[in-house]
Amino acid sequence: MSIYSFYAHSLTSFVLLRSVELSIVELKAQLNPLLTACFNDCLISSNEKIRQSLSVRLALQELLKQLGLPIVLLVKDENGRPFLKNDNLHISFSHTRYLVSVALSTAFQVGIDIETTRPQLAVVQSKILTKEESEHVGNSLDKLAIYWCAKEALYKCLMNQQSCNFQKIFVEPFQLQIEGHILAHFSGKKYLMHYKRIDCDINKPPHFCVCCEGHT
């Protein structure tokens, strides 16, 4: 299972992205039991989704190893948000059929989202973007994917704190690059986020990943 990227989002948060390529049997064999103790594949609709869920746990395991941190029990809160029990670390997961991503912060709530650049995103554009944001996106699927990821990442960051309507999150216009920063506004606060483009291979669509820490 290949690591596509490992990087520091800030002094206190880190991101690891991996491919989804191992079988369910291979994934379960490599995973520490503490990370699968609360995993029930009977509740997941397809083998593809099971592979994604297990792959993101393996990515977490590798991220903890990279940072020299111990593996502790992975559980979910009442909102379904994953967290490491008896630990002060904050984590967030996201996955597509091709890649999984994990963000970990030693100090703040954290949110991450990863998406492919696909035409289907345009279906929900009017529901998640403001008029100004839509004008900035134009016909760019890359920008649309970044906007979606940014709002989803901030939502994950704040989901246990307050209601977070996507159209109430405003993302400032930005210059599209392979990697960069964007600024989001919500409820009178500003959040600086990092985005990154990931090109898997010629047979898979490009991805964009956005990470956000829950502080201004």
Q: Give me the pLDDT at residue 121, please.
A: 86
| Residues 24 and 100 both lie in one domain | yes
Taking 90 as the threshold, does the pLDDT of residue 182 lie above it? yes
d(CA 83, CA 92): 8
- Asked whether residue 101 falls in the same domain as residue 179, the answer is no
Classify burial at 47, counting beta carbons within 10 Å of its beta carbon; exposed 0-12, middle 13-18, buried 19 or more.
exposed
Name which of 34, 57, 149, 49 is nearest 104 in CA terms: 57
Q: Kindly state whether residues 156 and 190 are assigned to the same domain.
A: yes
Kindly report the CA angle at 111 between 178 and 24, in degrees rounded to 5? Answer: 90
Q: Are residues 117 and 100 in the same domain?
A: no
Tokens for 105? Answer: 């912060």
pLDDT at residue 162, as a whole number = 57
Q: Are residues 147 and 99 in the same domain?
A: no
- Of 106, 139, 174, the one marking the end of a domain is 106
Q: 45 and 100 share a domain? A: yes
**The total number of structural domains that make up the chain:** 2
Q: What is the mean pLDDT of residues 52-64?
A: 96
- pLDDT confidence of 214, banded at 50, 70, 90? confident
8 vs 10: CA distance, rounded Å = 5
Whether the CB-CB separation of 153 and 208 falls below 8 Å is answered with: no
For residue 159, the enclosing domain spans 113-213
Q: Which of 215, 173, 208 is nearest to 194 (CA)?
A: 208
More confident residue, 41 or 153: 153
Contacts of 69 (CB under 8 A, 6+ apart): 89
Question: Quick count: other Cβ atoms within 10 Å of Cβ 133?
Answer: 21
State the chain's mean pLDDT as an integer: 90
pLDDT more than 90, % of the chain: 67
Task: Provide the pLDDT for residue 137.
Answer: 94
- Per-residue model confidence (pLDDT) at position 173: 96
Question: What pLDDT digit, counting tens, does each position of 90-102 carry?
Answer: 999 999 999 999 9
Q: Is the pLDDT of residue 197 over 90?
A: yes
Top pLDDT among 49 and 162 is at: 49
Specify the pLDDT at position 62: 96
Name the pTM for this structure: 0.92
pLDDT exceeds cutoff 80 at 41: no
85 CB neighbour count, 10 Å cutoff:
11
Where in the chain does DSSP place strands (E)? Answer: 3-8, 13-19, 74-76, 82-84, 90-95, 99-105, 110-116, 170-171, 179-186, 189-198, 207-213
pLDDT tens column, 138-160: 999 999 999 999 999 999 998 75
Do 98 and 183 belong together in one domain?
no
Report the CATH number that the domain containing residue 119 is assigned in CATH.
Answer: 3.90.470.20
